[in-house]
Amino acid sequence: MNYSIFTLSPGSTSTKFAVFRDGEALLKRNVTHDPEKLKAFAKVNDQLPYRLEAIEAALGEAGLSLDDMDAFSAYSGGLASTEGGIFPVNDRVLEDAASGRLFEHPAILGSQIVAAFGAKTGKPAYLVNPPDSDEFEDIARISGLKGVYRESHVHVLNQKETAMRAASELGKGYEDINLVVCHVGGGLSISAHRKGKMIDGNDVLNGDGPFAPNRSGSVPLLPVVKRCFSGEYTQDEIRNSISKTGGLLGLLGTDDAREILRRIEDGDPWAKLVYDAFAYTLAKHIGSYACAMKGDVDGIVLTGGVSNDKYFVAQVKPYVSWIAPVIVYGGDFEMEALASGTLRALTGAEKTKEYTGVPVWDGFEFEY
């Protein structure tokens, strides 16, 4: 059977959606929303009717309708931590997302939008490897500060999709393979995937891991503490220097790899040093996650937009290719991941899971 699957990812000022038929993309759109209209909504949830109407209109302009779809699937946040997998959108999903108590961002609309479309057409709605997926082992959560623990905040959807692709390329199943997967985009996440589970990774939302195009990554802490209490910076300025204006942007004034490469070609020694350090720092973390799997690594996956840069990839490879083959999937495959996951659910190739709202980890009961 040729299934038609609608996929969706809401952003701050736009909503990406796509339509796939039997795994092939028929349509991809990014519906831009009027910023002034968005400002008129007091809460994110108030945007729901507006976005529903805009998406349906864009779908109609492409000559398609909701009734043409066999299933709907979304990237959606605002959930309690859960293991990865495929989840039918149930009442608890909608309750947690709509409450906004765990996460206040347009991503909480994803489940609500596909649920509305599913209810309108009588077709199923799913979440695939939601961003709140957490499969860490307890040992990976411990840090050197009591009460400060690592949580799973990585690009789960794209990481899992490219891991599955790499497994297939290596002639194995995702559940039978060990991989280090690196999503290198505006943010940078890296995880150890052991036999189908992400057992460890950098907490990218909280500033952990390699530096990225616009994130500082892990840095020596005491100089940051001094900045915090110097009186020269506000809390927002410190936060932004870590999560928005750090990394390549802070060091070079740009996070555009094309501009940085142009500077390197023009003989700029600082641009070369910083960009080479970008690759070097990632490589060191790849080695650490190989250690997390005791050296039993079948492949190293590079994905995300920066992985399209041949210079960057060429800088990373010499440091890590002795560990395992390096497999590159440049770009982002979120829409494809939603479609392939939904197809696995529809065909029975992967068993769906029930979202319960009970977090998989909520602290250590035996902490002193």
Q: Which two tokens stand for residue 186?
A: 């505006």
The yes-or-no verdict on residue 260 having pLDDT over 80 is yes
Distance CA 36, CA 26 (A): 31
DSSP-assigned letter for residue 265: H
Q: Are residues 205 and 128 in the same domain?
A: no
CATH code assigned at 293: 3.30.420.40
User: How many folded domains does the chain comprise?
Assistant: 2
CA–CA separation, 312 vs 260, rounded Å?
A: 11
Looking at the fold, whether 257 and 209 belong to one and the same domain comes out as: yes
Q: Which residues pair with 15 in a beta bridge?
A: 10, 31
Cβ atoms of 113 and 8 within 8 Å: the answer is yes
- Do residues 272 and 320 share a domain? yes
- Average pLDDT over the chain, rounded to whole? 96
**Residue 306: inside a domain:** yes
* Each residue's pLDDT tens digit, 88-128: 999 999 999 999 877 778 999 999 999 999 999 999 999 99
Host domain of residue 341: 4-133+335-347
What is the structure's pLDDT at 185? 93
Residue 144 sits in the same domain as residue 62: no
Q: Is residue 63 part of a domain?
A: yes
178 shares its domain with 324 = yes
Name the phi and psi angles at 158, rounded to 5: -70, -35
Q: pTM higher than 0.75 for the full model?
A: yes
CA distance 177 to 304: 21
| Same domain (yes/no): 292, 155 | yes
Question: Confidence class of residue 15 from pLDDT cuts 50, 70 and 90?
Answer: very high
pLDDT band at 352 (very low <50, low <70, confident <90, very high): very high
pLDDT above 90 coverage of the chain, percent: 95
The answer on 171 and 239 residing in a single domain is yes
Q: Are residues 124 and 148 in the same domain?
A: no
CA-to-CA separations, 49 to 41, 44, 53, 177, in angstroms, rounded:
11, 11, 6, 43
In this structure, are 322 and 343 located in the same domain?
A: no
pLDDT at 165 over 90: yes
Residues 315 and 245 in one domain: yes
User: Is residue 143 located within the same domain as residue 124?
Assistant: no
**Domain check: are 151 and 259 in the same one?**
yes
In a domain, 355, yes or no: no
Question: Does 360 reside within a domain?
Answer: no
**pLDDT, tens digit (0-9, with 9 covering 90-100), for 26-81:** 999 999 999 999 999 999 999 999 999 999 999 999 999 999 999 999 999 999 99
Quickly tell me which residue has 């990394």 as its tokens: 247
What pLDDT, on the 0 to 100 scale, is given for residue 355?
97
Whether 356 is in a domain gets the answer: no
pLDDT for res 302:
98
Contact (Cβ atoms closer than 8 angstroms) between residue 37 and residue 51: no
Q: Domain for residue 218, yes or no?
A: yes
Q: Is residue 191 part of a domain?
A: yes
Q: Is residue 352 part of a domain?
A: no
Beta partners for 181?
191, 301
